[in-house]
Chains A and B, each alone.
Chain A
């Protein structure tokens, strides 16, 4: 083979021998198979913005759910003589106690017009806002996914009627109805809260319940549409036919096969609902339709802070900035989840 024959194909005989075991091994490139969750988690962990947002959310959650338990002040506790303190300032009484050798916890964010420590009120406020966001999204998740999957799965005239209902709710101007519903069910709920067996309503406050009711009535339609479109394509799959052939009931197919297969979409849509619920709650609280006094929410704190804006701007700025931070980090984390779970949905 040393001299090249221009007409020859220049083939080597060795190339046509059966491959040895070592060579075979070389060609096989087996990686451990990456599951749906692992794949998504890997993409999520790589996303720096989403991870930073997650850390911010976790820190805010620690501050709003754990710290208030060990904080030396209570959110409804009015401290005599320390009204309208600037941040990190002590009242004369507290100064006297410090001079006497006692330890007094500083008012990190000052106090409000009734002498309540503002830092703990902001923490409680973000607890309420977070709770509203989480519970409202859970409600939306349940109603939206059930409605959407039933409409998509059964199809036909049932689907037609259900989707017309969705269309109508979609076109209803939501803010107008929210304000109206909140106003009109406030009194009946307050009356109901006074009757036997419904005292637990008092703890939540009628306004909070009306907010949940509004979400349950109006806000699930987006989720229902998304779930329906997913179910429409998923139900064509062979495994659905197989499940039916094996005698699975409709309910079981929806639960075990269809909803579990659109879990990524469900997670992403629910996460992105949380900031919008917090947004709406703060909007209502700001109009005076939010949680019942003395319970604070970030919206009502900001609304109260507006009154003394000239002299005590921090009373407004603290809750206002915190609510921006919460919504921003949930939005960014939700975007990260969407990129991780559903790369096709990326816009």
Chain B
């Protein structure tokens, strides 16, 4: 077990390092620097700015300096938003995205698990068919379609919901729903197939035969076993809600980390690009690794290798 965890941690650390390296050289591939678009400043001022942030040094030296600092937790100053550190920017933007993502994940779980279970228990009946259709559509419809059509229907046409910002609780309804649609559909499908699998097991028949009620046998025996595949999906789901929020944040004009990531790339704000990429990548990779390890801990049937 310890060997397995060690292997996974090393792999995760190496992947984060690799992502950071790729990002560093990719963004320097783009012609033009962070100060070029400011037309008013002279060549000397530009050179001075470059020297101040160490951008005049050879790329490999910049890379070494950045990595050494980053390992010590110092992600540097933003090149565009003067006087703000990258850590400050991330810590001001991330709570917005995290709240949105967290609520969406919660909603997806709260709706997806019961829907999938209901479908499995009523296999072949009309309610099963309806749930399957909803889940199939949910997987096929891209998030921007859900967002924009929802925006049009409820925000513009019916005028029930606000269309931008995140100031009051009612503002959360559309973005959270749009973001949770895909994971919800996916969880429903996962839950349905694993529930069907579990219901057919011998221990379920034993539970019923020894006189447990339908309710107890479902909640104590079936659900606990059927929920395992959903646990593995939590990692990728988190990744999805974080990256899916690129679109949602753009459409609903929400000041989150996803929007910050895109605008920092457009502005060539090198340190912010690096900071947000490393931050998001670390979050996703750590989540995936934790879920994988947790999965093996929960289910003794899975062999370690």
Interface residues of A (CB under 8 A from B): 164, 167-168, 171-173, 175-177, 179-181, 183-188, 191, 275, 279, 282-283, 286-287, 299, 302-303, 305-306, 309-310, 313, 316-317, 320-321, 323-324, 327-328, 331-332, 347
Contacts and interface: CB of A to CB of B under 8 A. Distances in A.
Nearest to A178: B243
B280 A173 contact: yes
B262 A313 contact: no
> Most chain-B CB neighbours within 10 Å: which of A172, A180, A282, A305?
A180
Interface of B: 11-12, 14-15, 18-19, 22-23, 26-27, 29-32, 136-137, 139-145, 148-149, 151-152, 156-157, 193, 239, 243, 246-247, 250-251, 261-262, 265-266, 273, 277, 280-281, 284-285, 288
A172 B140 contact: no
A171 B236 CA distance: 10
Contact of B277 (A176, A275, A331, A347): A176
A331 B139 contact: yes
Contact of A309 (B30, B152, B250): B152
A327 B144 contact: no
> Most chain-B CB neighbours within 10 Å: which of A175, A321, A327?
A175
Given A173-B285, A316-B148, A320-B144, 20 more contacts: A168-B11, A172-B18, A173-B281, A173-B284, A176-B19, A177-B19, A180-B27, A184-B27, A184-B29, A187-B32, A188-B29, A279-B142, A283-B247, A302-B144, A302-B148, A303-B144, A313-B152, A320-B148, A328-B136, A328-B141
A302 B140 contact: no
Q: What are the 3 tightest A-B residue pairs by CB atom distance, in nearest-first order?
A: A175-B243, A328-B140, A320-B145
Contacts of A287: 246-247, 250, 262
Chain B contact residues: over half helix, strand or loop, or mixed? helix
Nearest to A310: B156
B251 A306 contact: yes
A316 B152 contact: yes
A299 to B, nearest CB: 7
Contacts of B141: 324, 327-328
Contacts of B149: 316-317, 320
